Amino acid sequence: MSKWMPFFNKNEKEIQTEKIDNVPNHVAIIMDGNGRWASERGLPRIAGHKEGMEVVRRIVKEAVEQNIKVLTLYAFSTENWKRPKREIDFLMRLPIEFSNKYLPEMIENNVRIKTIGEFDSLPAHTKRSISHAKEKTKQNDGLLLNFALNYGSRDEIVRATKQVIQDVHDGTIAETDIDEAVIAKYLYTEDVPDPDLLIRTSGEHRLSNFLLWQLAYAEFWFTDVMWPDFNEQIFLDALKDYQKRKRRYGGI
Ligand code: IPE
Ligand code: IPE
Ligand code: MG
């Protein structure tokens, strides 16, 4: 029996999936379409975000089942501050709700929670709940669940560049030592391996400032499905499609 069973909620439309081989080590997802999903149903956009949070929980569970090592989820971009305050406030409370509802099962399932992005300027209550979740899961060595929160790839590269210049000035590193591996260490992703597979929902085919450096050789997979309608089976479709890809990295 799955170790997730004690948390199984009969009302949820959970789907039983088979275990598949050769899964990508690191899957990154642009969880898009919450607002449209809600609008199509005559609901406020925040209803889509709430439903989207439940999908996060299900996909994390599936990633654990499939032995994926890292799952990076784009939750809030540096550009998402342009949205109405009400919507932003709701999004900034979601980590608290996620933590209250699902932190125990994350711990139970050996999930380690981390974030990438500019953390300091998040609201205090958001930071508190995320820091708590990180602290409670820091010893876990199962799935690394990485939330991209207030994350923008260009912002990340600007920050990294400034830090590299600072460290060269301070003599911590020599200019001649700077190579791709050194630059990678200055990014939020530090020692996390690059994503193997990028999934974007909602029919949009763009990166929206997500992991520009790290996705250099990732396989891309798109679906028209809105994030609140995404499920385990669609996730498996993406993983199975990934298995068929021939990754050449510029070779033959
Ligand atoms: C993705 O859904 C979640 C966030 C960006 C926070 P959206 O809120 O972008 O939904 P759409 O794309 O407007 O439908
Ligand atoms: C990307 O989605 C950011 C997240 C999923 C958090 P957006 O909805 O913000 O992207 P654009 O504006 O359509 O490019
Ligand atoms: Mg969107």
Atom of ligand 1 nearest to the CA of 91: 6
Atom of ligand 2 nearest to the CA of 31: 5
Q: Calculate mean pLDDT across residues 58-70.
A: 98
Ligand 2 centroid to 152 CA: how many Å? Answer: 11
Tokens coding 175: 């200019």
Domain hosting residue 80, numbered range: 21-152+196-242
143, 60 Cβ separation under 8 angstroms: yes
Q: Is the CB of 128 under 6 A from ligand 1?
A: no
Ligand 3 centroid to 38 CA: how many Å? Answer: 12
**pTM of the predicted model over 0.85:** yes
Atom of ligand 1 nearest to the CA of 36: 14
Return the CATH number at 117: 3.40.1180.10
- 179 located within any domain: no
The reported pLDDT for the residue numbered 13 is: 67
Instruction: Tell me the pLDDT of the chain averaged across its residues.
Output: 95
Nearest to 240 by CA among 24, 79, 1: 24
Is pLDDT of 1 > 50?
A: no
CA nearest ligand 2 atom 11, residue: 208
* Nearest bound ligand to the CA of residue 91: 1
Q: How many domains does the chain have?
A: 1
- 228 located within any domain: yes
- 176 located within any domain: no
Tokens coding 157: 């590269």
59, 236 Cβ separation under 8 angstroms: no
Atom of ligand 2 nearest to the CA of 75: 6
The reported pLDDT for the residue numbered 2 is: 45
- Per-residue pLDDT of 78-133, as tens digits, reads 999 999 999 999 999 999 999 999 999 999 999 999 999 999 999 999 999 999 99
231 is catalytic: no
- 6 located within any domain: no
- 163 located within any domain: no
The reported pLDDT for the residue numbered 8 is: 44
Answer with the residue of higher pLDDT: 21 or 146. 146
The reported pLDDT for the residue numbered 93 is: 98
- Per-residue pLDDT of 3-39, as tens digits, reads 444 444 444 567 888 988 899 999 999 999 999 999 9
Ligand 2 centroid to 32 CA: how many Å? Answer: 6
- Per-residue pLDDT of 150-179, as tens digits, reads 999 999 999 999 999 999 999 999 999 999
- 190 located within any domain: no
Q: Best of 49, 77, 215 to mutate for ligand 2, by most ligand atoms within 8 A of CB?
A: 77
- Per-residue pLDDT of 223-232, as tens digits, reads 999 999 999 9
The reported pLDDT for the residue numbered 85 is: 98
- 119 located within any domain: yes
Q: Is the CB of 209 under 6 A from ligand 1?
A: no
140 is catalytic: no
- 30 located within any domain: yes
